Amino acid sequence: MMDSEPTTDVDIRTQLLARFIDTHHPDCPGCGYQLSSGISCSECGITPHLSLNPHNRFSLPWLFIFIPWLSLVGRGILNWMLLLALLIQGGTESFLASFQMVSPSQAPFVLSLELMQIGSPLIVFIFWRKRHRIRQWKHSTIFLLGILPVLGWCYNLLTAAQVING
């Protein structure tokens, strides 16, 4: 009778990883797709490795993009709630009068900010789904996506200051 080959640490780790994937169905660290069986992702082909240090899901590039857009969602909700309260309390005349404070030269900027606010929940959802891949994006792309809502906030503050000061 032949002795069986001794198992190595790599074999044991591979078996443990396959058992963990079959039991828990974790997300792929590369693309976020749910792993179901085997030891490689059927979506992106990455082979995860067993480690005691979990992959950091909330990287600095992701936070740099996600937090400003999430704050824009909050600002949009607050803005629409205030407009709804104005409509309920003051009627359509006061509601329409609030839009007359915007000059024709400011209208394209105000409209773009409102569109950013309306689309920001979808954008936040997309960034949440792409959180594993953002580390691979160019630094200039990350910077532009993170600074865009901040520029919207700054423009909104400047516009509000102009309206208040007359």
| 112-157: pLDDT as tens digits | 777 888 888 998 899 888 887 787 889 999 999 999 888 877 877 7
pLDDT given at position 17: 77
Distance CA 107, CA 128 (A): 31
Is 60's pLDDT higher than 80? yes
Distance CA 79, CA 137 (A): 32
Global pTM value: 0.55
Burial class (CB in 10 A: 0-12, 13-18, 19+), 72: buried
Q: Quickly tell me which residue has 């400011």 as its tokens.
A: 106
Distance CA 156, CA 146 (A): 17
User: Please, which pLDDT band fits residue 4 given cuts at 50, 70 and 90?
Assistant: low
Query: What is the pLDDT averaged over residues 59-87?
Result: 85
DSSP helix/strand/coil, 107: helix
**DSSP 8-state secondary structure symbol assigned to residue 102:** S
